[in-house]
Homo-oligomer: A and B are copies of this chain.
Amino acid sequence: MTQSPHLAFRALADPTRREIMRLLTEQDMTIAQVSDQFDMTRAAVKKHLTMLSDGGLITTEVRGRERLNRLNPAGLAPVFDWLSFFDRFWDARLNDLKTAIEGESDD
């Protein structure tokens, strides 16, 4: 029962949200902790976290007055699922894909 990839793809469209996902691979973080990593207000970060949650890419755990944001890698399943459709065209039209993936990339 793979869910629609729509909200996940939309959540991944913004560089800030992708960076938040990277941050959350290191540790769970409160909103304030995430906000410290960006040059924007806590309210703006909160909106990004909401979109990430809507896309199923993070989960939250309320602990007292804090709210811990946690990466949910399983939320990437619909994305991988959609992308897997192109696997066969990958090989058919492109031979040296693996060399293309070699490099590192940033935003």
Contact = CB atoms under 8 A, between A and B. Distances in A.
Interface of A: 1-6, 9-10, 12-13, 15, 18, 21-22, 25, 53, 56, 59-60, 71-74, 76-86, 89-90, 93-94, 97, 100-107
A77 B106 contact: no
Copies of this protein, total: 2
B6 A100 contact: no
Contact of A107 (B4, B21, B81, B105): B4
A94 B74 contact: yes
B2 A100 contact: yes
Nearest to A95: B74
Contact of A105 (B3, B72, B100): B3
B56 A74 contact: no
A90 B76 contact: yes
Given A74-B93, A89-B25, A106-B59, A9 B2 contact: no
Contacts of A85: 22, 25
